Structure 1
Amino acid sequence: MAAGLDPLVALWKEWGIQVLVLLSLALQVILLVTAEIRRRKDSGVLRVVVWSAYLMADMTAIYTLGHMLVTSRLPEHELVAFWAPFLLLHLGGQDNITAYSIEDNRLWLRHLQSFVVQVLAAIYVLYESSIFTGGRQSMLGQATILMFVVGVVKYGERVWALKSASSSALSGKNYNSFGRLHFVNPYTTRSWSPAPFLAHDLLSVPKHLLKGPLPLVAFDMKACCSWEDMYNIAENQLSLMYDVFYSKAELIHTWYGHCIRLTSLAATATALRLLFLGLSDKDGYNRVDVAATYVLLAGAVVLEITSLLRAMCSSWSLQQMITLARGHTVVSRRLVYLFYPAFLCGHLVRFALPRLGIQIRCWSGTMGQHNWIYMCSHCKDSRSSKIARWMGREDWWNTLVYTSSSVSVSADFRLLLKEQLRGSVGVDEENAEHIQNSRGRAALKKKGLYDDELLAWSVDTELDQSILVWHIATHVYLSWYKAEHGCLPHHAKVTEELSNYMMFLLAARPYMLPDNASRQKYIELCNKVINDLKLKYSSAEDLIMLVRNHGDALGAGRAQPSGNADTIEENADIIIENETFDRASQLSTKLITMETPDTGMLKLINQVWVEMLSYAGYRCRPDSHARQLSNGGEITTIVVLLVEYLKSDFLEFEKVEQDAELGMP
Structure 2
Amino acid sequence: MAGTEQVVHVWKEWGIRAQVLLSLALQVTLLILAVFRRRVDSGVLRVFVWSAYQLADFIAIYVLSHMSVAATGGGSWPDEHELLVAFWTQFVLMHLGGQDNITAYAIEDNQLWLRHLQALAVQVATAAYVLYASPIFRSDGHSSWVLQVATILNFVAGAVKYGERVWALRYASSSSSSSPGNYGALDYRSLYKYVVIVPSTSRLAAEDILYLGHKMLEFPKGLLKGSATGNNRIKFLVRRDTGPQAYISHGFCLRLEEAYKVAEVQLSLMHDVLYTKAESQCGVIRVVTSVATAVALILLFPLLLTGTSSSSSTSSDRGYNKVDAAITFVLSVGACVLEATALVRHRLSSFNWFRDETRGIKTGLLPGATASFRRFVGAADRRSQHSWSRSMGQHSLLQVCVGSKVNRSSKVARRLGVEDWWNTIACSWSVAVSPLIERLVVKQVRESCGVLASSPDHISNSRGRAVLKRKSQQLYSELEWSVDPNQLSLEDTILVWHIATDLYLLQWRNNRKGSEDLAKAVEALSNYMLFLLVARPNMLPPSASRTAYVEMCYCLTAVSYSSAEELADLLRRYGVALNTRSESFRFPYDTGMTANRLRSLHNNTALQRGSWLATKLIAEDSPSSADTMLKLMGKVWVEILCYVGIRCSGYSHAKQLSDGGELVTVAAFLLEYLKRGVLTSDTTSISPDGPTILY
Instruction: Output the TM-score relative to the length of structure 1.
Output: 0.90
Aligned 8 A contact 2:575 2:615 in 1: yes
CA change 1:351–1:92 in 2 (3 A) is same
Give 1:319's aligned residue. 354
| CA deviation profile, 1:613-644 (whole Å, cap 9, x unmatched) | 00001100100000010011001111111112
Give the Å deviation of 1:350.
4.0
Deviations 1:101-127 (A, max 9, x none): 001100001001100000110011001
Does the 8 Å CA contact 2:265/2:383 hold for their aligned counterparts?
A: no
Equivalent of residue 586 in structure 1, options 597, 612, 621: 612
The one of 77, 93, 99 equivalent to 1:94 is 99
Point out the more displaced range, 187-196 or 372-381.
187-196
In 2, Cα distance between the equivalents of 1:610 and 1:593?
Answer: 23
Distance change (3 Å), C-alpha of 1:467 and 1:54: same
Residues 438-477 of structure 1 show CA distances to partners (whole Å, capped at 9, x for unaligned) of 0000001112257656511111211111000100101101
Residue 285 of structure 2: aligned partner: 260
Root mean square deviation, CA, Å: 2.5
Pick aligned residue for 2:195 from 144, 162, 184: 184
Q: Which residue is 2:235 aligned to?
A: 219
Answer whether contact 2:94 2:161 (CA < 8 A) is retained. yes
- 2:316 counterpart of 1:300: no
Matched position secondary structure for 2:621: coil
SS at match of 2:185: helix
Q: Does the CA contact (< 8 Å) of 2:39 and 2:390 recur in 1?
A: yes
- Does residue 680 of structure 2 align to residue 652 of structure 1? yes
Distance 1:276 1:57 in 2: 27
Answering whether residue 204 of structure 2 is matched by residue 195 of structure 1, we say no
CA contact (8 A) 2:255 2:683 kept: no
CA contact (8 A) 1:188 1:198 kept: no
Deviations 1:122-155 (A, max 9, x none): 0110010010124552110110000000001000
Cα deviation code 1:141-175 (max 9, x no counterpart): 11000000000100000001111111112323334
Displacement of 1:341 in angstroms is 4.0
Kept after mapping to 2: 8 A contact 1:552/1:562: no
Q: 1:372 to 1:546 in 2, by over 3 A?
A: same
Q: What pairs up with 1:356-435 in 2 under 5 angstroms?
A: 361-404=386-429, 406-435=430-459
Question: Displacement, 1:593?
Answer: 1.3
Instruction: Report matched runs for 1:36-51 at 5 Å.
Output: 36-51=35-50
Kindly indicate whether the alpha-carbon contact (under 8 Å) linking 1:317 and 1:343 is maintained by their aligned counterparts in 2: no
- Is the CA contact 2:260–2:442 (under 8 Å) kept in the aligned structure 1? no
Q: Aligned partners of 1:175, 1:502: CA distance in 2, in Å?
A: 43
Q: CA deviation at 1:509?
A: 0.8
CA distance in 2: counterparts of 1:630 and 1:496, whole angstroms:
26
Does the Cα contact within 8 Å between 1:550 and 1:585 map onto a contact in 2? yes
Q: Distance in 1 between matches of 2:383 and 2:445?
A: 31
Following the alignment from structure 1 to structure 2, what is the Cα–Cα distance between the partners of residues 189 and 415?
28
Consecutive unaligned residues of structure 1, counting only runs of 5 or more, are 327-332, 566-572, 657-665
Residues 456 and 358 (structure 1 numbering): CA distance in 2 closer, same or farther, change over 3 Å? closer
Match of 1:152 among 147, 156, 159: 159
> Partners in 2 of 1:456 and 1:309 — Cα distance?
57
Matching of residue 269 in structure 1 with residue 269 in structure 2: no
**Deviation digits for residues 184-241 of structure 1, max 9, x if unmatched?**
1144599966211111111111111111215455233612222222111111100100
Amino acid at match of 1:391: L
Counterpart of 2:540?
Answer: 513
Aligned partners of 1:168 and 1:214 also within 8 Å = no
Partner Cα distance (2:423, 2:47) in 1:
20
Question: Which residue of the partner structure matches residue 570 of structure 1?
Answer: none
Q: Is the 8 A contact 2:404 2:423 kept in 1?
A: yes
AA in 2 matched with 1:429: A
Where does residue 239 of structure 1 map in the other structure?
A: 268
Describe the shift of the 1:58–1:349 C-alpha distance in structure 2 as closer, same or farther (beyond 3 A): farther
TM-score, L = length of structure 2: 0.86
Counterpart CA distance in 2 for 1:85 and 1:601 is 66
Report matched runs for 1:530-609 at 5 Å. 530-531=557-558, 533=559, 536-561=560-585, 575-596=601-622, 597=624, 600-609=628-637
Separation (CA, whole Å) in 2 of partners of 1:359 and 1:581: 42
Determine if the alignment matches structure 1 residue 248 to structure 2 residue 277. yes
Question: Is the CA contact (8 Å cut-off) linking 1:313 and 1:349 kept in structure 2?
Answer: no
Higher relative contact order (CA 8 A, sep 6+): 2
The whole-number CA distance in structure 1 between the counterparts of 2:228 and 2:119 is: 30
For residues 14 and 257 of structure 2, what CA distance do their matches in structure 1 show? 58
Distance 1:133 1:152 in 2: 22
**Structure 1 CA distance, aligned partners of 2:353 and 2:476?**
55
- Identify the match of residue 466 of structure 2 among 442, 453, 463: 442
Matched to 2:343, the amino acid is: L
The separation in 1 between residues aligned to 2:656 and 2:187, in whole angstroms, is 27
Return 309-318 or 116-125, whichever deviates more: 309-318
Match of 1:76 among 44, 65, 80: 80
Q: Displacement, 1:602?
A: 1.4
Q: How many residues align?
A: 631
Deviates further, 30-39 or 70-79: 70-79
1:287 maps onto 2:322 in alignment: yes
Q: Distance in 2 between matches of 1:394 and 1:385?
A: 6
Does the 8 Å CA contact 1:189/1:225 hold for their aligned counterparts?
A: no
Return the alpha-carbon distance in structure 1 between the equivalents of residues 228 and 303 of structure 2.
Answer: 53
AA paired with 2:378? F
Please state how far the C-alpha of 1:514 moved relative to its aligned partner: 0.8
Measure the CA separation in 1 of the matches of 2:156 and 2:453.
53
Deviations 1:316-370 (A, max 9, x none): 11111112217xxxxxx8xx5253244234423442795xx89775111111111
